[in-house]
Amino acid sequence: MWGYVGPRVAPLSPLERVRLRRVAVRYAMHGWEVTPGACLARSRFVCGRAGCPTVGCHPALEDWEHAASADPARVATWWRSRPHGVLLPTGRAFDVLEVPAHLGQRILEAVRAHPVGPGVRGPVLVTPTGGWMFLVRPGDPLRPELEHCLQVVRHGPGSWVPAPPTRLPEGQVRWAVAPEQARWQLPDSYLVQTTLVDALRDAGVALSPALVPGHLPLPRRG
């Protein structure tokens, strides 16, 4: 399916290869769509597509948005021949709110202490490059205060995130809060965003003015 293009992919032990496949299948079994990522080759990624100019982490399939699947059998076939990274498309089962490392731990501690409890707690992954990614229910845009904040990125439809145990040149992606710890439940996006706003203001980050009271988006019931 993929011809050899570019440098040889990083060698992985049989155990690591099996783990990539098993974890990808587990995500699919819980209804999270998965797509195979390009394989790590020294300090770059190769997808096997002739002429692909992308050297960073990226999907191995050109039509990845349509090919992504939550069918465990189909997902398993992708990892039988090559040690693909595990990528999770966003805007489907969940959206992702990404913040830099210096805010990630602060926000996680605030989430853990939030009076709403489980309603604001969910899976959180951390990349070796310093991104903290909070998985939330899909479909809600950023609050007005966060729309122009460069320290917050919402990954929705058309985007994806690397998931553990994917390896990047800087190291392995890991869970700060694993899906099992959150019982595979996703928090309300606006509850997490409110926590983000408070943490950013406490850190001295200037935010755009909010909408007038009575017009703020409300948490959706789920």
Q: Three-state SS for 197? A: helix
Which residue in 73, 56, 58, 31 sits closest to 160, CA to CA? 58
Q: Classify 51 in phi/psi space as left (phi over 0), alpha (psi -120 to 50) or beta.
A: left
- State which H helix or E strand residue 88 sits in: strand 85-89
**What is the per-residue pLDDT for 5?**
41
Please give the chain's pLDDT, 222 residues, in tens: 344 444 555 556 667 778 999 999 999 999 999 999 999 988 889 888 888 889 999 999 999 999 999 999 999 999 987 889 999 999 999 999 999 998 999 889 888 888 777 778 899 999 999 999 999 999 999 999 999 899 999 999 999 999 999 999 999 999 999 999 999 999 999 999 999 998 898 888 888 776 544 445 555 544
**Stretch (H or E) spanning 75:** helix 72-78
The domain limits of the chain are 14-203
Task: Quote the longest CA-to-CA distance of the chain.
Answer: 58
